[in-house]
Amino acid sequence: MNDDKKMQVLHLLHENSRLSVETMATMLGVTSEEVKQAMTELEQSGIIKRYSAVIDWDKVESTKKVSAIIHVNVTPQREVGFDAIAERIYRFPEVRSVSLMSGTYDLEILLDGEDIREIARFVAEKLSTIEHVISTATHFLLKTYKADGVIFDDHERDRRLVVAP
Amino acid sequence: MRANPSSVPHPTNPREGRLSPLVENLPPSGIRRFFDVAAQMDDIISLGVGEPDFVTPWRVREACVYALERGYTSYTSNHGLPELRQAIALYLDAWFAISYDWQTELMVTVGGSEAIDLALRAIIRPGDEVLVPEPTYVSYRPCVVLSGATPVPIPTKPENEFRLTADDILAHVTPNTRAIILCFPNNPTGAVMDRQDLEAIADIAIRQDMLVISDEIYAELTYGAKHVSIASLPGMRDRTIVISGMSKAFAMTGWRIGYVAAPADILAGMVKIHQYTIMCAPIMGQMAALEALKNGHSDKDHMVNTYNQRRRLIVKGLNEIGLSCHEPRGAFYAFPDVRKTGLSSEEFSERLLREAHVAVVPGNAFGEAGEGFVRCSYATATDKIEEALERMRRFVASL
């Protein structure tokens, strides 16, 4: 399969990872075998990490989970730069994402917790105490409007007439 | 998707002598009746819509809001905003290799529809005949009649995948033939004319001294070779009126912004009618169109790619059901053959609607040559296409 088709497989899966191999093959004008092969390659080369769902947790009644974005300034270390510190942080399972940033801070962390105190505890006990961490700034998420390309409460409906020339 | 049935006006019989005979004898659109039935049902999946299912890209809508905030609410030049005409000229040149002077050869219209009407009214003389290859978009024949000419339908054939051939035309040319209306990529068949196909048509047009009205509203929606405009062929620019617009490629149907490119003398004639009847296209729509032409190409590419994926899905699905379907190479319609079911286009469509709750448009709504076929629009979400195909499969099996 050529690179353009592979890109299209990625886009289709990113949009809806439950599409069947057969449907994707039809949509792209290739065989099912080719799609399977491409997916295997993309998985094995680590391009596809996993297949997951986009969830609006605010709509889940039973959870009171909170999330925070934390900006962290660190002193990079000789030889390993930011990577070793990032790893010490991302190994915690409650850390959903860690990115190295350009600009006024170094690492951006997205952290999930059962409540505000749990997040406060993590910052105070785990994050701030890591050697080379200079400062942290914690921002709690209040509402998610759009995540990973999906608008959560989209009020735009199909307003077309049922039949039109 | 819904419509309020009470808002649908029902045709009334005109009182004797109140209407122009031209209007009185004009048949109502064949699509209307289906609309009335479909509007009563609430779990319809509609493959009957002749417009994109995408909402206009946000950047375009946002640009219009911004324009309104800055007070863009006036008339524009009859021809349309200069910036927009310049953008259209650049766009036509870059994408379809046809170049027009934005000051004398281009005009912005209220949708491609207005341009069709203007083109005909500008060129028709008493006694003229206009060739209309069919099946095709529903407006051409009525517009020809209203312009005072006689429409001469030319049936295109399923075995040619509904492309127009030189022989088709030659069988219908008379000394009174004034013009031909081409609509490729075609609504409803999805047919596309390649360069060679068009060369044969151009040859006849030149020999017979015919004008060509080329409605290229679906030009951007092709799924193989790039669209070729007949105006780009040698000798054709001076006898072709190119009509297009923002509706299909940029999902801007409701904005009503079309445009026409034609030789200066013909365009001047069209502008005359336009300035007295319309004045100008709405400035808000023109501002939005400008944004779309300047920055909307990635949105357009994304939509075209999505249509292409759905196209493969619906064509394969229809063929598997036994409704054989040629590969539509443009627009967003599949045009399957339903003759094997033993039903006429209308019977098939009406029963499919009532029994399976899927709306399609009977092919004969687009001219007699469409009998035996139905139009299925794949400007519809993928999951809805799949559900519609499943319902159609059960329906066909039940016959």
Judge if pTM exceeds 0.90: yes
Residues B144 and B80 in one domain: yes
The C-alpha of B131 sits at a distance from chain A's nearest C-alpha, in angstroms, of 20
Q: What is the pLDDT of residue B38?
A: 80
Residues B191 and B272 in one domain: yes
CB contact under 8 A, B312 and A28: yes
Q: What is the pLDDT of residue B395?
A: 98
Measured CA to CA, the distance from residue B201 to residue B239 in angstroms comes to 12
The string of pLDDT tens digits covering residues B179-203 is 999 999 999 999 999 999 999 999 9
Residues B199 and B242 in one domain: yes
Give the mean model confidence (pLDDT) for residues A88-94: 96
Query: Among all residues of chain B, which has the CA nearest to that of A29?
Result: B312
Task: Pick from B215, B301, B382, B384 the residue to mutate for testing the A interface (most A CBs within 10 Å).
Answer: B382
Residues B263 and B276 in one domain: yes
Q: Indicate the average pLDDT of chain B.
A: 94
Of B296, B327, B360, which residue is a domain's last? B296
Domains detected in chain A: 3-44 (1.10.10.10), 59-142 (3.30.70.920)
Residue B255 pLDDT class (50, 70, 90 cuts): very high
Q: What is the pLDDT of residue B37?
A: 78
Residues B271 and B386 in one domain: no
Contacts with A, B 233-292, CB within 8 Å: none
Q: How far apart are the first and last CA of chain B?
A: 28
Residue A63 pLDDT class (50, 70, 90 cuts): confident
Report the share of chain A in percent with pLDDT over 70.
100
Q: Is A165 on the interface with B (CB under 8 A)?
A: yes
Give the mean model confidence (pLDDT) for residues B377-385: 96
Residues B305 and B278 in one domain: no
Measured CA to CA, the distance from residue B92 to residue B291 in angstroms comes to 16
Given a cut of 90, whether residue A61 has pLDDT beyond it is no
The string of pLDDT tens digits covering residues B16-36 is 789 999 999 998 877 777 777
CB B259 within 8 A of CB B115: yes
Angle between helices B297-321 and A3-15 (to 10 degrees): 90
Q: What is the pLDDT of residue B2?
A: 45
Q: What are phi and psi of B321, to 5 degrees?
A: -70, -20
Residue B7 pLDDT class (50, 70, 90 cuts): very low
Name residue B202's beta-bridge partners.
Answer: none
Give the mean model confidence (pLDDT) for residues A50-78: 92
Please enumerate in sequence order all residues whose Cβ is within 8 A of that of B15, keeping only pairs 6 or more positions apart, or say none: none
Domain that holds residue B241: 58-296
Q: What is the pLDDT of residue B11?
A: 55
Name residue A107's beta-bridge partners.
Answer: A72, A100
Residues B176 and B291 in one domain: yes
Residues B286 and B188 in one domain: yes
Residues B161 and B220 in one domain: yes
Q: How many folded domains does chain B comprise?
A: 2
CB contact under 8 A, B382 and A27: yes
Residues B171 and B308 in one domain: no
Residues B287 and B303 in one domain: no
Name residue B131's beta-bridge partners.
Answer: B152, B180
Q: What is the pLDDT of residue A163?
A: 87
With beta carbons under 8 A apart, name residues in chain A contacting B140.
none
C-alpha angle B54-B40-B55 in degrees, rounded to nearest 5: 10
Q: What is the pLDDT of residue B14?
A: 65
Strand positions, DSSP E, chain A: 66-74, 95-100, 107-113, 133-140, 146-147, 150-151
Q: What is the pLDDT of residue B16?
A: 79
The string of pLDDT tens digits covering residues A136-157 is 999 999 999 999 999 999 888 8
Of A29, A156, A162, the CB nearest to B44: A162
CB contact under 8 A, A23 and B29: no
Of B31, B305, B386, the CB nearest to A163: B31
Given a cut of 70, whether residue B8 has pLDDT beyond it is no
Contacts with A, B 182-201, CB within 8 Å: 187
The string of pLDDT tens digits covering residues B125-164 is 999 999 999 999 999 999 999 999 999 999 999 999 999 9
Residue B40 pLDDT class (50, 70, 90 cuts): confident
| Three-state secondary-structure class, residue B25 | coil
Say if the ipTM goes beyond 0.85. Answer: yes
Rg (CA), chain B: 21
* A156 token code pair: 């735009």
Residues B220 and B146 in one domain: yes
Identify the weakest region by mean pLDDT among A71-85, B140-154, B270-284, B377-391. A71-85
CATH (domain of B136): 3.40.640.10
CB A129 within 8 A of CB B102: no
Measured CA to CA, the distance from residue A78 to residue B136 in angstroms comes to 72
Of B296, B320, B350, which residue is a domain's last? B296
Query: Among all residues of chain A, which has the CA nearest to that of B358?
Result: A162
Name residue B94's beta-bridge partners.
Answer: none
With beta carbons under 8 A apart, name residues in chain A contacting B38.
162-163
Measured CA to CA, the distance from residue B73 to residue B383 in angstroms comes to 40
CB contact under 8 A, B49 and A27: no
Please enumerate in sequence order all residues whose Cβ is within 8 A of that of B113, keeping only pairs 6 or more positions apart, or say none: B139, B258
Of B53, B310, B361, the CB nearest to A163: B361
Of B123, B79, B76, residue with least CA distance to B104: B79
Query: Among all residues of chain A, which has the CA nearest to that of B113?
Result: A165
Q: What is the pLDDT of residue B10?
A: 53
CB contact under 8 A, A164 and B31: yes
Q: Is B309 on the interface with A (CB under 8 A)?
A: yes
* B397 token code pair: 């099996």
Of B270, B296, B322, which residue is a domain's last? B296
Q: What is the pLDDT of residue B4?
A: 45
